Amino acid sequence: MGRKAAHCKTINDKQHRMKTNTKVLLVDDHQVVLDGLEAFLHPHFDIVGQAKNGREAIRAVRILQPELVLMDIDMPVMNGMVAAQELRRDFPALKIIMLSLHFEQSIIRHLLQIGVDGYLVKDSDKAEVIFAIQSVAGGKRYFSSAVTIALNSPNDGSAVASTNESPSAQLSTLTEREIEVLRAIAEGYSSREIGQRLYISARTVDSHRNNIMKKLGVNKVVGLIKFAILHGLVE
């Protein structure tokens, strides 16, 4: 019994030594993703909290003062790109790693301009996520191999729609109001907030959003964000 207890203590000591005091905030709009990340990251880092959108993330950073944020891009209320920009401005020492299904060149370059410290695709394995956080916490930058390949690709496949129209031709199909709505969506505003800014109802905003998506041939908000970036509709 004594030998077994000593063996268990040795294992626990090793696990303790592996864990760092890096304070990490997790941000994703899916609770199952947050819980999954926390489950395998908790033995290695100090997980100080969770947030489900960019606005919650900014609030949580002010209160919990994490050293590093691991954050999704495509979220409601305020997307990760807008949140990253505000966090970088208000908390310059904060480390930011984006975690996303998307690795289009235009989006990655925009995030690099904002000053994020890392970018992981969501099919990264646990070991890579842990290594990325350790690297960034240690003052380095980390990007998944798929992201690096996308950045170095001469053709990033940046056509947003699956039509034969050029992006400029697609932009010309949008009305002035639709462009206003598109810009506000890319800036991370909710339908209610866009409606208040443009003096229209949230339902009308949703209708404009659906029309824009049909015209551009996209079915996710991240596609709208990408289009807006490519055409300089957002800074």
Q: Are residues 98 and 199 in the same domain?
A: no
Confidence at residue 228, expressed as pLDDT on a 0 to 100 scale: 82
Confidence at residue 44, expressed as pLDDT on a 0 to 100 scale: 95
Range of the domain at 140: 2-152
Measure the CA dihedral 170/176/179/183, to 10°.
160
Any domain includes 144: yes
Better-scored residue on pLDDT, 148 or 100: 100
Q: How would residue 6 be classed by pLDDT, with cut points 50, 70 and 90?
A: very low
Percentage with pLDDT > 70 across the chain: 82
Q: Are residues 120 and 209 in the same domain?
A: no
Instruction: Tell which residue, 152, 171, 176, has the closest CA to residue 226.
Output: 171
pTM, entire model: 0.66
Q: Are residues 145 and 184 in the same domain?
A: no
Q: Are residues 148 and 206 in the same domain?
A: no
Of the candidate ranges 67-81, 107-121, 149-163, the one whose mean pLDDT is the lowest: 149-163
Confidence at residue 40, expressed as pLDDT on a 0 to 100 scale: 94
Confidence at residue 14, expressed as pLDDT on a 0 to 100 scale: 43
Confidence at residue 147, expressed as pLDDT on a 0 to 100 scale: 73
Any domain includes 161: no
Q: Are residues 140 and 187 in the same domain?
A: no
Half-sphere exposure of 73 (CA within 13 A, CB side): 26
Q: How would residue 214 be classed by pLDDT, with cut points 50, 70 and 90?
A: confident
Residue 11 has pLDDT above 50, yes or no: no
Q: Are residues 80 and 144 in the same domain?
A: yes
Select from 152, 175, 202 the last residue of a domain: 152
CB crowding 151-165: b at 16 or more within 10 Å, else e:
eeeeebeebbbeeeb
Q: Are residues 49 and 106 in the same domain?
A: yes
Residue 158 has pLDDT above 60, yes or no: no
Give, as one character, the DSSP assignment of residue 69: E
Of the candidate ranges 3-7, 65-69, 91-95, the one whose mean pLDDT is the lowest: 3-7
Q: Are residues 118 and 19 in the same domain?
A: yes
Any domain includes 136: yes
Domain with residue 127: its CATH number is: 3.40.50.2300
Any domain includes 159: no
Q: Are residues 179 and 210 in the same domain?
A: yes
Residue 161 has pLDDT above 50, yes or no: no
Q: Are residues 44 and 93 in the same domain?
A: yes
Domain with residue 210: its CATH number is: 1.10.10.10
Q: How would residue 149 be classed by pLDDT, with cut points 50, 70 and 90?
A: low
pLDDT digits (tens, 9 = 90+) for 125-148: 899 999 999 999 999 999 887 777
Task: Write down the mean pLDDT value for the chain.
Answer: 82
CA 60, 61, 67, 68 torsion-angle sign: positive
Number of domains in the chain: 2
> 192 — alpha (psi -120 to 50), left (phi > 0) or beta?
alpha
Chain centroid to Cα 200, Å, comes to 29
pLDDT mean over 218-223: 80
pLDDT digits (tens, 9 = 90+) for 24-78: 999 999 999 999 999 999 999 999 999 999 999 999 999 999 999 999 998 888 8
Q: Are residues 17 and 81 in the same domain?
A: yes
Any domain includes 188: yes
Residue 163 has pLDDT above 60, yes or no: no
Q: Are residues 144 and 196 in the same domain?
A: no
